[in-house]
Every structure is written in C-alpha cells, then in structure tokens.
Amino acid sequence: MKHYGLSMMPEKTRRWQMTEIRLNGPCEGNPYTEQHAEAEIISCGEHVHVQGFYDGEGVYLIRFMPIYEGEYQVKVSASFMEPVSGKIQVLEPEEGNHGPVRVCNNAHFAYEDGTPYYSIGTTCYVWLWQTDELIAQTLETLKNSAFNKIRFCVFPKHYNYNLKEPRSYPYEGTPVDSSGLTPENFNQMNQKSEGNDWDFTRFNPVHFRHLDWCIEQLQELGIEADMILFHPYDRWGFSCMGRENDERYLRYMMARYAAYRNVWWSLANEYDILKDKTIADWEYIAQTIVECDPYRHPRSIHNCWAMYDHNRPWITHCSMQRQETYRTAELTTDWRRQYRKPVVLDEICYEGNIQFGWGNISGQEMVRRFWEAAVRGGYPGHGETYLGHNDVLWWSHGGVLHSESHKRFRFLLDVMKETPGIGLRTSPECRWDEVYGIPEDRQLEGTYFLYYYSFMCPSFRTFRLDENSRYQVTVLDTWEMTREDRGVFSGTFNVELPGKPYMAIQIKKV
C-alpha cells in the first residue's frame, strides 16, 4: 500500500486565485464513488467548506478561491487519511485580477473589486474539444478580440457541421459508432443513448484536465468562461443520463471549477428542447449548483423557444436567445423591466451565411443588434457561421474570425466603459424613434446620454436639454468607428448627422 495523505499544500496564494491542495489516495475500486475529500477554509472574513475530487492515478484535488487577503487556516480531511491542517498566506491579487464577476444594481455586472464589467460575449460551443492547433488559433483570436466572455459546452456537440468525434469524452467508455453520419441523417441519432457504453460513475480526467487548462487560458486573457452544463445536441446520451448521474456530474463540476474566478454556470443551452428533462429536473440541477458552489458564480439558463422563468431566485441574470425573427435586442428594455436582472443576449443570431436563419445575418445587422442592446443597458453576444473555411465555423469550432461585426466591438466596449457609474438604462423619456441610455445610478441622472439611431438616417436631430448646463457632444459612427467632437452646447440645439444608418450621439455634461 502506498503512502496516503497530503502531498502538496501551498504556503502562499493570491486573492481570487484558484488554489489547489493535492492528496495521494487510493486508485483501487472506484475512487469517484468510494472515496471523498474535503476542506474547511477559514479566514477572518470567510468560512467555507469545499469538496475535493478525484483526478485519476491516485490523485485527489481540493480547490478553493480565497476572497480575502491575509492568513487562511485550512483543515483537510478525506476518507483515506487522518485530517491535517495548515496555513496559507493570501497576498494581494496580481495586476489585472479583479475577482469574480458579480451582479450589481439588479441590472449590471462588476468584478468583486468594484470595476464595472461590460460583457461582450461570443459563443464557440465546442472550441475546446477540437485539435491542439485549432485551440491555439482560437486562443490567439480571442487574445486579439474585444471579447470578455465566451460560452461553450462541457459535453461534445452533435449537429450539422458537428459530426466528428471530440478530442475526449467526459466519461470512461466507448461512444456510439458515428461513421455513417451525414448532414441528412444525423438528426435521427439526436438525444439518444443507444449504442453508447459509458460508465457514468467514472469521469475521464483527461477531459477535465484539458478543461482546466482552457479555463486558465481564458483567465489569462481576462475572459469569463460561461460553461454550458447541459445541451440538447447530443448523440452520446449526456443529455439523458438520469438524475443520479446528472447530480454526480454537477457535484464533480462544482468541486473542480467553482474555485476559478472566471467561471459562469449556464445550466443549459436551449433547455426547452432537451427531451429528457422537466422543469423539476432543471430546478433540481439549480438547487445542486446553489448548494455546491460556495463562490456563487453567475447562473443562467438559456432558451430555444420558450424562455425559462427568469424570476427564479437562483437565476442571477437572463441569458436570452432571440424571441422573434425581426426583433430581439430591442426587447432588452422590456426584459429588464420584467425581470430586474441583467439581460445578457447570448444568442441574437450569428453573422454568417449558413442556410439557417439563426446563422446568416450580416455584419451590419449584428453590430446594430449589439448597439440596440447596449444603449438599453443589455449585454449582447456574438457568434459566427461562415461557410467556406473547411467546415470550421467559429460558432462551434473557434479558429479565426471572418465577420465584419467583431472588428467593431472594441469601439462599443470603449464607449460602454465611459458610462458614469455602472451601466446604462433606457431613458423613460425616449421617443418612439430614438433610444437612449442614461446612467443606471439615479444620482448621475442628467450627466450622460447615449443616443442610438439604428437603421434610421436622420440628417440632424434636435435636443432640448437644460439651459443652464453645458454638454459636450460627440457624434459616433458605430460602423466606421469614428468619433467627431461637435463642441459644447446648452439648452435647445441641433446636431448634424450624415444621413446614414448606425449613428450614435454621446452627450456628456461638462
């Protein structure tokens, strides 16, 4: 018998840093079900219990994320050893680490250190289950982009343009034979478990070590990892494992990933088309996450057709898919009023040219939807579905970006960051033919206005502001990404515009 016990506990770590304690333990039998490890993490500011998990080859890991600086006491116990204690010094966070993202003002996000977080998301469902080369390309693309959130799946994806096998599977076992799949017949296998042979009590450490690495890469890039825990595009049976296996999976995920500051939980992509799950199942899943994630990461659930009841208390923010063919981002104001939670537009169609209407809008239309959402204080998300690049579509596989829209998001993000306080809201005084955002913070009312004219092409607009205040006026071309300073005005004044679409006017009280 090998020596069981603590093999590594760090002396020092940093605030909001995933911190890992390693134990040696048995690899005989089924360590996933027969053993357990956990720790109590105590500082003057917090006292949390975290569960460890088995990482294969006799290694057990316990992860936590210290929320405070200073001395932490750590008490480790496990089924295979006597309890041990230790102390870990938590230093200030490294440069650029602002902590996990939290909801604030019932409508917006900020990092835990108070820095506003203006989400500019993208979706690459299974970028991390591609080849090393493609993954490296995706990370390089992300590094040079404005994206600060990415949605992706823990499980592989089965769909048109997604018929290959993933680089690894989450469980030990063998997958169904996929050699006869074509774009015409693939749907017959969807959400069926037949032909697969998985041991749902044995996770595949290779799959999850790779996921660790991907989350760490995203963290280095300052990108939030919005992880989709379940989804309907599945031929391996992961969408219909049954409640017991779902719960084991969720507990493993929470133990393994809750300590990463950049993790978000998306319970599902398109929960409403998972045939095997009921609302009661989703509520049970939610309850398990709430119970097992001591760090309260953002939690959402994404619809296909019917929205989930975003009033549910465990939902931290609304994760929206387009609701109509012709409008979506424009509905942000209504959704904010209805739910009083941040509105994240995780799918407002993809820029591209595939055959499906959800995947073939133009760059102009995508950027328009981004601005429509942003001036209303919503948080838009991008995606791309361009054919013609060896069937590598950013939407699922990552790679390089081919869109026109993504080039324009840094400009938007820069403008969003100029908002006084944290976040915009739709002015209640908007006329029907203009939308403008004002600061969410009531105390800052009257100091800032961001007007957006969408597809409208006015050659001027008239403003009626306070006679006794002075306002700096800047005209923004959201497509060309230009800013034109128009000087300082008071009272009633006209602002000339070029009579073309996609213009915005930013007005700051000086």
DSSP SS3 for 85? strand
CB of 360 to a copy of itself, least distance (A): 5
State how far Cα 176 lies from the chain centre: 30
Interface stretch with a copy of itself, choices 19-27, 206-214, 310-318, 428-436 (CB under 8 A):
428-436
* Residue choice 48, 387, 400, 481 for contact with a copy of itself (CB under 8 A): 387
DSSP letter at 272 equals G
Q: Backbone phi, then psi, for 478, in 5-degree steps? A: -75, -20
Distance between CA atoms of residues 181 and 193, nearest Å: 15
Q: Does 11 bind a copy of itself (CB under 8 A)?
A: no
- 213 or 455: whose CB is closer to a copy of itself? 455
The residue among 213 and 356 lying less far from a copy of itself, judged by its C-beta, is: 356
CB of 455 to a copy of itself, least distance (A): 5
Q: Does 273 bind a copy of itself (CB under 8 A)?
A: no
Q: HEC states along 463-493?
A: EECCCCCCEEEEEEECCCCEEEEEEEECCEE
CA 312 vs CA 265, 300, 364: distances in Å? 15, 10, 35
**Mask 437-476, x = binds a copy of itself (CB under 8 A)?**
-----------------xxxxxxxxx--------------
Q: Which of residues 330-369 bind a copy of itself (CB under 8 A)?
A: 330, 352-358, 360-362, 365
Pair of tokens at residue 395: 């939407």
CB nearer to a copy of itself: give 131 or 494: 494
Given a contact cutoff of 8 angstroms between Cβ atoms, the answer to whether 464 and 492 are in contact is yes
Q: Which among 347, 336, 339 has a CA at the least distance from the CA of 313?
A: 339
Our finding on whether 432 is near a copy of itself (CB under 8 A) is: yes
Residue of 342, 319, 323 whose CA lies nearest to 331? 323
Question: Of 82-90, 186-194, 245-253, 430-438, which part binds a copy of itself (CB under 8 A)?
Answer: 430-438
Binding-site residue total for a copy of itself (CB under 8 A)? 34
Residues 461 and 325: their CA atoms lie apart, in Å, by 29
Quote the CA–CA distance of 503 and 455 in Å, as a whole number: 8
Q: Which amino acid is at 371?
A: W
Nearer to a copy of itself, 182 or 278 (CB): 182
Which residue number, 281 or 365, has a Cβ lying nearer to a copy of itself?
365
Token pair for 280: 């009661």
Min separation Cβ 187 and a copy of itself, Å: 13
Q: Is 357 exposed, middle or buried (0-12, 13-18, 19+ CB in 10 A)?
A: exposed
Q: Which two tokens stand for residue 432?
A: 């029907």
Is 260 a binding residue for a copy of itself by CB under 8 A? The answer is no
Q: Which of residues 162 and 219 has its CB atom nearest to a copy of itself in the complex?
A: 162
Binding segment for a copy of itself (CB under 8 A), chosen from 58-66, 90-98, 192-200, 318-326, is 318-326
Q: Which stretch binds a copy of itself (CB under 8 A): 15-23, 333-341, 417-425, 432-440?
A: 432-440
Q: Which of 132, 326, 442, 464 binds a copy of itself (CB under 8 A)?
A: 326
Q: Which of 82, 334, 433, 480 binds a copy of itself (CB under 8 A)?
A: 433
Query: Quick one: tokens of 246?
Result: 């779902």
Q: Which residues of 166-180 are buried (b: 16+ CB within 10 A; e: fewer)?
A: bbbbbbbeebbeeee
Select the residue interacting with a copy of itself from 46, 140, 404, 434 (CB under 8 A).
434
Tokens (6 digits) for 422: 């944290």
Nearer to a copy of itself, 207 or 369 (CB): 369
Looking at residues 148 to 177 of the shown chain, list those that interact with a copy of itself (rule: CB under 8 A).
Answer: none
Residues that bind a copy of itself (CB under 8 A): 324-327, 330, 352-358, 360-362, 365, 387-388, 431-434, 454-462, 499-501
